[in-house]
Amino acid sequence: MKKYCFGIDVGGTTIKCGLFNTEGNVLDKWEIPTRLEANGSFILPDIAKTITEKLDERGLTKNEIEGIGLDIPGPVDEDGVCMLAVNLHWGKVNIVREMEKLTGIRTRAANDANAAALGECWKGGGAGHKNLIMVTLGTGIGGGIVVEGKVIAGAHGSGGEIGHVHVTDELSEPCNCGNVGCLEQVASATGIVRLAKMQLEKDQDTPSTLRGITGLDAKMVWDAVRNGDEVADAIAEKFGLYLGRALAGFACVTDPEIYVIGGGVSKAGPVILDYVQKYYRQYAFPGCKDAAFALATLGNDAGIYGAAKLVL
Amino acid sequence: MKKYCFGIDVGGTTIKCGLFNTEGNVLDKWEIPTRLEANGSFILPDIAKTITEKLDERGLTKNEIEGIGLDIPGPVDEDGVCMLAVNLHWGKVNIVREMEKLTGIRTRAANDANAAALGECWKGGGAGHKNLIMVTLGTGIGGGIVVEGKVIAGAHGSGGEIGHVHVTDELSEPCNCGNVGCLEQVASATGIVRLAKMQLEKDQDTPSTLRGITGLDAKMVWDAVRNGDEVADAIAEKFGLYLGRALAGFACVTDPEIYVIGGGVSKAGPVILDYVQKYYRQYAFPGCKDAAFALATLGNDAGIYGAAKLVL
């Protein structure tokens, strides 16, 4: 094992970079812009350049680098090939081969949600565990499945796409994926707003601080939950039912030790775990009922940690 | 890699034994009875004895044996420890440690459904694939999740307990696991009979060859499906919806290349795949929709194959 590695988290606007020692301590963090022009063809060369510059700046040689881990917003298969990454304007890109050619350093690549899961498992809310399911509740829902310390990419790069399990027949509008009734439609930040509108419509006679707000968002709903708002509580119950029951279903598959909840929605704090766990415990197979729940702790750094872990 | 290994499939009545070469060809198959007396404490010594006898009979030495793989009807953790196996009258048993002490041969252990999945992945309906979900439709439903050629045991030995995902709110009686509305209650052999009774009750005015039969079983339902019986078709649709939609949910987790359906119910043949795939394709995440489906091919030998594979 060499002394250092890089963890690179490629987003649609910014590329987050981390230089780590191989014990997992971050020594340096910086960002470069994501250049989307020319079908995103500058992205990997830009990363290679910033890595070379960092090596020079620190007086390090390639021989001291264990590898480069890199994650992107799109499916990546076991061999480090991306088939399509809309947010990077990429079609098929063999990330591992191209980066190794550009840098001469061993490279591994993964989906961003999968890397975040690995990061949280290594140094975040799931630290100390080897089997984990990570749920990222943002505008959409991302997920990552870690088994025996390794993230499951899946045969089609769709491992951990848990936002797209079917959870309800009550919706008619389609999910971004084209299906109808996905978890993402009722438990992401936008999904919680959808649930809120449905509940306010249904409980017309119940007073609620959420009524009549323009620009209602998920944070307002959770604030209202904490303030004892009756309609907000009903919304949180629905959210807990959909997410908790879905996780109970996943427990039958990989049976993790711990579920880690991250993403913007998780900033509402432990209250969301209460609602999710209530329904998880109701629906989980008896052997899995005592699994742990935790909030993510690495925030926006989960990606660089997980990317770094890919090469260790 | 040495030349030979043993695959041992321990059931509640019979212990199936196989001597394999390490290419995966079975050289000898035999059975011994499962002695349940004295809390099943004769089981492992009986296995050690039959292995020793087989070595003597074949003129083999322990040094030529790569290992002993052993599966049992109950949860087994990553370290080869069984916490409870009701059908063997076992409490906690450290299978690996005890067998290694008894035989001096390296041992690995797994749950029987997980071993069957590994067997089908290696030499059966899923041969040629590394990522698979196996569904065993018998009296209950067993399952096994194979990722990158390895079976997922899970943190509580409940990996692949896919019969206990919640699929319906229409039932009131509890599943054997204590929950209500499990897949096993509507898609196992007994589950299909339950669906049949519900459908016959609901479609009282539709003529059906299934009406008035005492001792109705799953095979009769599938025979009627093939004969164009309208009520039987409705039953098969329900079965397909529950199982296909559940598998679509699991696709979001490990994203397998192939689903292999085995167990007694699968003897009905390819017709069951038609109904399952119809709903799988409807509900699966787009990236996973083209996954393959196959029937299991190893029958009762899946366990010994999978057990053998544990040590290879």
Residues of B in contact with A158 (CB under 8 A): 251-252, 255, 285, 287-288
pLDDT digits (tens, 9 = 90+) for A64-111: 999 999 999 988 888 999 988 988 999 999 999 999 999 999 999 999
Indicate whether A302 pLDDT > 90: yes
Q: Are residues A89 and A149 in the same domain?
A: no
Indicate whether A129 pLDDT > 90: yes
| Residue from the list A143, A162, A252 with its beta carbon closest to the beta carbon of B162 | A252
Residues of A in contact with B155 (CB under 8 A): 131, 255-257, 291
Give the model's pLDDT for residue B83: 85
Residues within 8 A of B (CB atoms), A 47-76 only: 75
Number of domains in chain A: 2
Q: Are residues A145 and A99 in the same domain?
A: no
The residue of chain B nearest to residue A152, with distances taken between CA atoms, is B254
Contact yes or no for B135/B141 (Cβ under 8 A)? yes
φ, ψ at A203 (rounded to 5°): -95, 55
Give the model's pLDDT for residue A170: 95
Domain of residue A136, CATH code: 3.30.420.40
Q: Are residues B143 and B286 in the same domain?
A: yes
Interface predicted TM-score of the whole assembly (ipTM), two decimals: 0.90
Q: Are residues B90 and B136 in the same domain?
A: no
Q: Are residues A259 and A141 in the same domain?
A: yes
Give the model's pLDDT for residue A163: 96
Give the model's pLDDT for residue B75: 86
Give the model's pLDDT for residue B84: 87
Q: Are residues B162 and B117 in the same domain?
A: no
Tell me the three-class secondary structure of chain A, residue by residue: CCCEEEEEEECCCEEEEEEEECCCCEEEEEEEECCCHHHHCCHHHHHHHHHHHHHHHHCCCHHHEEEEEEEECCCECCCCEECCEHHHCECCEEHHHHHHHHHCCCEEEEEHHHHHHHHHHHHCCCCCCCCEEEEEECCCEEEEEEECCEECCCCCCCCCCHHHCECCCCCCCCCCCCCCCECHHHHCHHHHHHHHHHHHHHCCCCCCCCCCCCCCCHHHHHHHHHCCCHHHHHHHHHHHHHHHHHHHHHHHHHCCCEEEEECHHHHHCCHHHHHHHHHHHHHCCHHHCCCEEEECCCHHHHHHHHHHHCCC
Residues within 8 A of B (CB atoms), A 95-114 only: none
CB-based contact, A146 to chain B, within 8 Å: no
Give the model's pLDDT for residue B1: 82
Q: Are residues B223 and B237 in the same domain?
A: yes
Average pLDDT over residues A246-270: 96
Give the neighbor-by-neighbor strand order of the sheet with B26-33.
Answer: B26-33, B14-21, B4-10, B65-72, B107-111
- Extended strands (E) in chain B: 4-10, 14-21, 26-33, 65-72, 81-82, 93-94, 107-111, 132-137, 141-147, 150-151, 258-262, 292-295
Q: Are residues B19 and B44 in the same domain?
A: yes
Mind listing the pLDDT tens digit of every residue in chain B (312 residues)? 899 999 999 999 999 999 999 999 999 999 999 999 999 999 999 999 999 999 999 999 999 999 999 999 988 888 999 988 988 999 999 999 999 999 999 999 999 999 999 999 999 999 999 999 999 999 899 999 999 999 999 998 899 999 999 999 999 999 999 999 999 999 999 999 999 999 999 999 999 999 999 999 999 999 999 999 999 999 999 999 999 999 999 999 999 999 999 999 999 999 999 999 999 999 999 999 999 999 999 999 999 999 999 999
Q: Are residues A97 and A172 in the same domain?
A: no
Q: Are residues A72 and A162 in the same domain?
A: no
Q: Do A254 and B286 touch (CB under 8 A)?
A: no
Other Cβ atoms within 10 Å of A35 Cβ, number: 15
Residues of B in contact with A249 (CB under 8 A): 165-166, 246, 249-250
Token pair in block for residue A157: 């790069």
Q: Do A152 and B253 touch (CB under 8 A)?
A: yes
CB-based contact, B286 to chain A, within 8 Å: yes
Q: Are residues A194 and A276 in the same domain?
A: yes
Which residue, among B158, B182, B282, would best test binding to A if mutated, counting the most A CBs under 10 Å from its CB? Answer: B158
Residues of A in contact with B254 (CB under 8 A): 145, 152, 154, 159, 253-254
CA–CA min distance A172, chain B (Å): 14
Give the model's pLDDT for residue B311: 96
Which residue, among A81, A129, A253, A279, would best test binding to B if mutated, counting the most B CBs under 10 Å from its CB? Answer: A253
CB pairs under 8 A between A and B: 137
The residue of chain A nearest to residue B144, with distances taken between CA atoms, is A253
Range of the structural domain that residue A276 is part of: 128-296
Secondary structure class of B294 (helix, strand, coil): strand
Q: Do B246 and A249 touch (CB under 8 A)?
A: yes
The residue of chain A nearest to residue B178, with distances taken between CA atoms, is A286
CA distance B114 to B285: 25
Secondary structure class of B312 (helix, strand, coil): coil
Q: Are residues A283 and A135 in the same domain?
A: yes
Q: Is the pTM of this model over 0.80?
A: yes
B88-96: long-range contacts, CB 8 A cutoff, minimum separation 24: B88/B10, B88/B12, B88/B34, B88/B36, B88/B40, B88/B43, B89/B36, B89/B39, B89/B40, B90/B39, B90/B40, B90/B43, B91/B39, B93/B44, B95/B44, B95/B70
Eight-class DSSP state of B174: P
- On average, the pLDDT of chain A sits at 96
* Closest listed residue to residue B164, CA positions, set B249, B94, B231: B249
CB-based contact, B166 to chain A, within 8 Å: yes
Q: Do A254 and B159 touch (CB under 8 A)?
A: yes
